[in-house]
Structure 1
Amino acid sequence: MMSYAAGLGTGLSLIVAIGAQNAFVLKQGLVRHHIFWVCLFCALSDALLILLGVNGMAAISSAAPLLVEGMRWAGAAFLIWYGARSFRAAWQGGGSLRPEGQGASLVRTLGLVAALTWLNPHVWLDTVVLVGAISAQWPQPAVFGAGAMTGSFLFFFSLGYGARLLAPVFARPRAWQVLEILVGIVMWTIALKLVAD
């Protein structure tokens, strides 16, 4: 039970920081578009990466630095593109920022969240490397990993569906413009950090 609680706490503390993936889930929750599938995809992706970490993937990634380097540059390029897209949406304003303007197909939406998840080295660092390394310090690493996975499910579904509480604020087009600008800043900041590291 101690290993599970420690894993839950560790998972929640690592995932709660605002990042590209979380900003996307928040936005999808606000527009109420494919939110269940976005939350499920993010939580299952985290669960898979945590499973890899707990089962020793951290050692493999340290043995293949070129893989990590390629992920870093691909992730930075994607974040720059996504940030530019958010800035353009903020500039255009109007209908493209209202919920009814967010009509991307499920496949396209999941493609975006997949890129934000799997091309983001910070996601790999948090789930595979950090959770994997910390789990090895507990007597039941698999139970620790299960706790961390539970934390991911709790966080993503709370963020996605909890965003509805902010819906009255985002009834105004200006609020959507501010959100798009903030998302763009987050994306470009993370990209800059990836390139600078």
Structure 2
Amino acid sequence: MSSTLGHALCGVTILAAAGSLSHGPFTRFDLRQVLLFAGLANLPDIDMLFSYLLTGHVLSYHGGVTHSLAFALLVALGVASRVQSGRRSVFLLAGLVVASHSLIDSFTGAQLGWHPTRGMPLLWPFSDERFAMPVTLFPGPRHDTLNRLLDIHNLKVMAYELLFFSPFLAGLVWMRGIALCTGRAGRVCSIVRWMERPRIK
């Protein structure tokens, strides 16, 4: 699996894309939505909590049913049922964010490059087969014990994820700014451009 930071960055990137490319309920890009998408992107790892409570070890049931597309579908239905308008957009985005967790984990392994990954049970409960990828795009962190969560290896993993997602996130935020200048905030931008125009002496 990727780190909590990596999944959160992916979720926020999807939020930024939704706000930049549509006029739905996710155009505000406020702190509440950022936290919601970061949380949804990490939700499949709740199996680590269940594993610890049931067995005393965080990895006993990790990477199982909560990493399936069926789980993403159920979460999306639950989130969409909580809103009054824009349910279709909320359903699609929530499902995409939760499913992004399993997609990233499918490309996560011990060594970057053309090395097969562990795979995820994407089609559970219809199949227990783990769908592995032939290439590893994300290095896997060490999370079997609490004292290893912030060791040097995991810090390097998070730095890699930050470098990987930052260009996408920055580009989408820039696109959002351009969209605002040509949309509701167009008048403000016009005033700013008028104030900054070269003056004839």
Bigger Rg, which one: 2
State if a TM-score over 0.5 links the two structures: no
The structure whose RCO (Cα within 8 Å, separation 6+) is larger is 1
TM-score between both structures, scaled by the size of structure 2: 0.37
TM-score between both structures, scaled by the size of structure 1: 0.38
